[in-house]
Amino acid sequence: MHTIPVVVTADFTGEQNGDVITNLSFQNFTYNGNVLHTGRAMAFPGSQNAAPVISFSGYSNDFYVHGAGGPEYPYSGSFFSYTFLDIPVQPPPQIGMEMFVPTIEPLYSYTPEDQEINYSWRVSAVPEPASYGMLLLGAALVGVTARRRKA
């Protein structure tokens, strides 16, 4: 049984529309540093959304991802976050996690009642490699232009 804090990280790609990121594809999920090979992400069961979404603020989340560890880590887990913004007050934004080892008691279960104790949400935008190329090209163009003006 793991104790709080539990660190879950993931990389994902998607399309940014203001605060919300749609067309999600998750990769590199880790649970306390152990890789979780994930399946397809989907909208949280019971929500009114047709597809999973994530927000930079954490106030428009709706996703559910399930996966399993490799042979050296025989566990499976589900990670989810939902806000149900279409319902005015209840339930409040929640995040959850359940980890299980086959034929053994739950390894870790993080329930909505626990979620407010040590919950933090951080989403960082990372530029695509093409953006770096354009940045370098722009810097080189500025340098050439400045050099010509001096000459």
Q: Residue 61 and residue 52: Cα distance in Å, rounded?
A: 8
For residue 116, is it within any domain? yes
Could you write out the DSSP letters of every residue in 122-148? -------HHHHHHHHHHHHHHHHHHHH
Average pLDDT, the chain: 66
- Domain ranges, residue 43: 8-150
Give a yes or no: residue 1 inside a domain.
no
pTM assigned to the model: 0.52
Whether the per-residue pLDDT at 2 is higher than 50: the answer is no
Is residue 77 domain-resident?
A: yes
In a domain, 2, yes or no: no
The predicted structure's pLDDT at residue 106: 47
User: pLDDT confidence of 108, banded at 50, 70, 90?
Assistant: very low
What's the pLDDT score for residue 117? 39
Is residue 85 domain-resident? Answer: yes
Residue found under tokens 């927000």:
55
More confident residue, 126 or 51: 51
Residue type, 118: N
Q: Report if residue 3 sits inside a domain.
A: no
| Residue 82 placed within a domain | yes
Question: Is residue 145 in some structural domain?
Answer: yes
Number of domains in the chain: 1
